[in-house]
Amino acid sequence: MTVRGAGIFGLACAHACATRGARVRVIDRAGIAAGASGGVVGALAPHTPDAWNAKTAFQLVALLEAEAYWAGVDARSGISSGYARLGRLQPVADDRALSLARAREASAAGLWQGRAEWRVVRAKAGWGPVSPTGWLIHDTLSARIAPRAACHSLAGAIRDLGGEIVIGEGAEAGAVIDATGHDGLAALAADTGRPAGTGVKGQAAVFGLDRRDAPQVFADGVHIVPHADGTVAVGSTSETEFADPTATDALLDDVIARAVAYCPELAGAPVLARWAGVRPRARSRAPMLGPWPGRPGRYIANGGFKIGLAMAPACAGLLADLVLEGRDAIPEAFRVEASL
Ligand SMILES: Cc1cc2nc3c(=O)[nH]c(=O)nc-3n(C[C@H](O)[C@H](O)[C@H](O)COP(=O)(O)OP(=O)(O)OC[C@H]3O[C@@H](n4cnc5c(N)ncnc54)[C@H](O)[C@@H]3O)c2cc1C
C-alpha cells in the first residue's frame, strides 16, 4: 500500500499499517516533515473539560495514549520525538474566570476519569505566566513533542518495520492513503467540485532558554512550550489570507511580544529561529478521515488543523482499521462527507 504525504498524518498512518504487517511505501514530493508538521511548537494540549463532544472525547483518548505511543515509536527508531507530559499553566484573568476555572476542576475530575487533573493553584515565583489574580490553572494532561523530530522518529520506525520512504515521485501500489495536508484539501475540492477546507497559515518562533523540565504555558492565545533541546517555542498566528506561506513578519513579532509579556523569563533570551507553515483546516474543522469519494481504493487522512500533532496517532489507528480490515469506526464528525 501507499501513503502520499510524509507529515504527521501520513507517517502515523504508514506506521499504523506497518505495525499490522502491511508493506508500506510513503511518498512525499518535498521531504519528511516538509509541511505543517515540520513546525516548532508541538503542544499536545486538551480542550477545556466541558462542552464535551465526539472530537473532545476522541482527543482525550489520543492524549492519554500518547505517552505509550511515542515511547514505542522512539524505541523502534532510536530517535527521540521529544515527548514529555509535563502539564500546562494558564493565567486566570479575573474573578469570573476564577469561578469558571474552579467549576472545571469538578468537570475534569469526571470527564478525565481520574487520569489527569485540572487544578486551580497559586502562582509562584519562577517559570510560569504572569497572572492578574495570582491564580493559575494547572492541568496534568498536556504534553509536548518536537514536531520535526517526532516525524523523523516515525519515519525511522516505519523503515525498521520494512517500510520505504520515497522523496520526490514514486509509483503508487495497492490502497492509497492521501495525507497531503492543505494541498490535499484543495485537490479534494477540485476533484469533487465542493469546498473541502482551506489552509490556515501559522507563524512561530524559538527562544534559546533551557526550561526543558518545566510545564508549557498557554496565555492570551499563545502557546509557550519548553523543549528537551534547551529551547522554548512560542506560537502561533492564525492567518486565512497570506501571500507567502513560509514568510515570517510583524504578526510573529506580536506573538513574541505577547509571550514575553506573559513569561518575563523569555525577555533576555535570544530568538533562535522563526518559522511559518500552513495548517490543513477541513470545512468541519475536525480531522477528515475515510474513503476519497468516487475513487475506490483511495482514502483521506487530513484536517489536523491546530491539533493535528495530538490527533494523528489515534486517527491513524481508525484509518488502518478501515483500509486493512474494512472496519469502519470513524466518528460521524470526522467523516470526509462532514466537510463536503
Ligand atoms: C505554526 C503552527 C503551529 C502548530 N502548533 C501545533 C501544536 O502545538 N499542536 C498540534 O497538535 N498541532 C499544531 N499545529 C498543527 C499541525 O502542525 C498540523 O495539524 C499537522 O502538522 C498536519 O499534518 P499533515 O500531515 O496533515 O500535513 P503536513 O504536515 O502539511 O504534511 C503534508 C505533506 O504532504 C506532502 N505533499 C503535498 N502534496 C503532495 C503530493 N501531491 N504528493 C506527495 N506529497 C505531497 C507535503 O510535502 C507535506 O510533507 C501547528 C501548525 C502550525 C502551522
User: pLDDT of 43-55, one tens digit each?
Assistant: 999 999 987 888 8
Considering just the CA atoms, what is the radius of gyration of the chain in Å? 20
Phi, psi of 338 (to 5 degrees): -65, -20
Residue nearest (by alpha carbon) to ligand 1 atom 15: 306
Label the pairing between strands 25-28 and 2-4.
Answer: parallel
Please tell me the distance from the alpha carbon of residue 193 to that of residue 92, in angstroms, as a whole number. Answer: 46
Residue nearest (by alpha carbon) to ligand 1 atom 50: 306
Q: How many residues does the chain have?
A: 340
What are residue 280's DSSP bridge partners?
Answer: 199
Indicate whether residue 287 lines ligand 1 (CB < 6 A): no
Looking at residue 296, what is its pLDDT? 97
Distance from Cα 131 to the centre of ligand 1, integer Å: 33
Q: Which of 18, 7, 2 is nearest to 181 (CA)?
A: 7
Looking at residue 144, what is its pLDDT? 98
Indicate whether residue 277 lines ligand 1 (CB < 6 A): yes
Residue nearest (by alpha carbon) to ligand 1 atom 37: 180
Contact criterion met (CB below 8 Å) for 45 and 116: no
Contact criterion met (CB below 8 Å) for 157 and 274: no
Cell 501513503 found at: 3
Please tell me the distance from the alpha carbon of residue 329 to that of residue 322, in angstroms, as a whole number. Answer: 8
Residues 6+ away with beta carbon under 8 Å from 211:
127, 226, 232, 265
Contact criterion met (CB below 8 Å) for 209 and 265: yes
Cell of 285: 474543522
Distance from Cα 7 to the centre of ligand 1, integer Å: 5
Looking at residue 55, what is its pLDDT? 83
Contact criterion met (CB below 8 Å) for 231 and 205: no
Contact criterion met (CB below 8 Å) for 82 and 146: yes
The amino acid sitting at 176 is V
Indicate whether residue 172 lines ligand 1 (CB < 6 A): no
Identify the structural domains of the chain with CATH numbers, from first to last: 2-339 (3.50.50.60)
Which residue stretches of the chain are H helix? 8-19, 54-77, 95-111, 147-160, 181-192, 250-262, 308-325
Looking at residue 52, what is its pLDDT? 80
Cell of 76: 523502534
Indicate whether residue 49 lines ligand 1 (CB < 6 A): no
The model's pTM: 0.98
What are residue 3's DSSP bridge partners?
Answer: 26, 177
243 exposure class (CB count in 10 Å sphere: 0-12, 13-18, 19+): exposed
Please tell me the distance from the alpha carbon of residue 225 to that of residue 270, in angstroms, as a whole number. Answer: 15
Distance from Cα 224 to the centre of ligand 1, integer Å: 20
Low-confidence ranges of the chain (pLDDT < 70): none
Label the pairing between strands 88-91 and 216-219.
Answer: parallel
Q: Which of 150, 182, 154 is nearest to 26 (CA)?
A: 154
Phi, psi of 289 (to 5 degrees): -135, 140
Please tell me the distance from the alpha carbon of residue 38 to that of residue 182, in angstroms, as a whole number. Answer: 14
Looking at residue 53, what is its pLDDT? 86
Contact criterion met (CB below 8 Å) for 333 and 209: no
